[in-house]
């Protein structure tokens, strides 16, 4: 039995009010412990799709189902959504405080996740003292410190420089190897999509629909050397070509 839930999207469609359709019959299977990368042009409905999977928005039609263990979900939003009046430390431990679990069980989590995300020196800073990338790393630390079994990530690394982004991609896979959550990862970076995923789903525009699904057979564990492999470069090439087809459609 998987330790992480499988998610199944069955013909999800969405329109806001009487506006034009935003999503058109999106069907996707995410196996327990798999990471699916979702790429597509701006405005094609990626964030909307993630919100529907999270139950934050109702679909107009279609269904999201899960099997296996009950999903314990964390959502990393496109913008960092930190409390401005709380320090980095307090922002990281906020969900633990809200859950009113025993303090001993989360004492030290801010230090541990702050260290993993390179925030040790910033633990007592307020969000206004942080760069965009640092805010994002606090948001990631907050989500992962809850040990979710389902992780929804909406462009979490978009605000980071390339080196930090690569490092956090590697860190994320190391954490995944240990905790094996199921992941839906929205990104505009083809390299990131290929590095992180078991499968890449390309969403086309107007309305958002599944335009292509690319299986990613790159073996795990993946590390910096993976980015030099021929198979990685082939997948980046194929994904880029499919994305160009969508953008020029």
Ligand X SMILES: Nc1ncnc2c1ncn2[C@@H]1O[C@H](COP(=O)(O)OP(=O)(O)OP(=O)(O)O)[C@@H](O)[C@H]1O
Interface residues toward Mg ion, by CB under 5 A? 47
Closest separation in Å from C-beta 42 to ligand X: 3
Closest separation in Å from C-beta 109 to ligand X: 30
- Residues whose CB is less than 8 angstroms from the CB of residue 158 and which lie 6 or more positions away in sequence, other chains included: 78, 136, 187, 188, 189
Q: Rounded CA gap, 51 and 57, in Å?
A: 6
| Of residues 34 and 48, the one with the C-beta less far from ligand X | 48
By CB under 6 A, name the one of 11, 43, 79, 112 that touches ligand X. Answer: 43
Binding piece for ligand X, criterion CB under 6 A, among 15-23, 105-113, 194-202, 216-224: 15-23
Question: Is residue 209 involved in binding ligand X (CB under 6 A)?
Answer: no
Place of tokens 């959504």: 81
| Of residues 8 and 47, the one with the C-beta less far from Mg ion | 47
By CB under 6 A, name the one of 47, 60, 81, 164 that touches ligand X. Answer: 47
Q: 98: exposed, middle or buried (C-beta count within 10 Å: 0-12, 13-18, 19+)? A: exposed
Q: Rounded CA gap, 203 and 180, in Å?
A: 25
Pick what 48 binds: ligand X, Mg ion, none; C-beta below 5 to 8 Å, kind-dependent. ligand X
Beta bridge partners of 10: 63
Closest separation in Å from C-beta 158 to Mg ion: 10
Q: For residues 53-112, which are near ligand X according to CB under 6 A?
A: 78
Q: Rounded CA gap, 42 and 188, in Å?
A: 8
| Of residues 44 and 172, the one with the C-beta less far from ligand X | 44
Question: Is residue 42 involved in binding ligand X (CB under 6 A)?
Answer: yes
Closest separation in Å from C-beta 37 to ligand X: 13
| Of residues 47 and 226, the one with the C-beta less far from Mg ion | 47
Question: Is residue 16 involved in binding ligand X (CB under 6 A)?
Answer: yes
Question: Is residue 6 involved in binding ligand X (CB under 6 A)?
Answer: no
Q: How many residues belong to the site for ligand X (CB under 6 A)?
A: 11
Pick what 84 binds: ligand X, Mg ion, none; C-beta below 5 to 8 Å, kind-dependent. none
Question: Is residue 200 involved in binding ligand X (CB under 6 A)?
Answer: no
| Of residues 4 and 22, the one with the C-beta less far from Mg ion | 22
Question: Is residue 48 involved in binding ligand X (CB under 6 A)?
Answer: yes
**Chain contacts with ligand X (rule: CB under 6 A):** 16, 19, 22, 42-48, 78
């Amino acid at each position: 039995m998987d330790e992480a839930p499988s998610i199944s999207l069955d013909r999800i469609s969405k329109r806001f009010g009487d506006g034009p359709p935003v999503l058109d019959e999106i069907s996707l299977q995410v196996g327990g412990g798999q990471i699916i990368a979702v790429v597509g042009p701006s405005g094609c409905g990626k964030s909307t799709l993630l919100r529907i999977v999270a139950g934050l928005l109702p679909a107009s039609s279609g269904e999201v189902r899960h099997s296996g263990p009950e999903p314990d979900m964390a959502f990393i939003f496109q913008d960092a959504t930190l409390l401005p009046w709380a320090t980095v430390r307090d922002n990281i431990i906020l969900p633990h405080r809200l859950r009113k679990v025993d303090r001993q069980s989360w004492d030290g989590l801010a230090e541990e996740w702050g260290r993993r995300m390179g925030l040790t020196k910033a633990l007592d800073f307020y969000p206004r003292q942080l760069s965009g990338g640092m805010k994002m790393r606090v948001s990631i630390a907050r989500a992962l410190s809850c040990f979710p079994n389902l992780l929804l990530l909406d462009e979490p690394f978009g605000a980071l420089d390339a080196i930090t982004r690569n490092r956090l991609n590697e860190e994320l896979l190391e954490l995944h190897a240990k905790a094996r959550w199921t992941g839906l990862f929205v990104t505009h970076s083809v390299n990131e999509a290929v590095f992180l995923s078991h499968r890449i789903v390309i969403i086309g525009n107007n309305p958002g629909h599944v335009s292509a699904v690319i299986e990613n057979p790159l073996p795990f564990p993946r590390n910096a050397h993976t980015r030099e492999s021929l198979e990685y470069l082939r997948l980046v090439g194929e994904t880029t070509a499919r994305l160009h087809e969508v953008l020029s459609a």
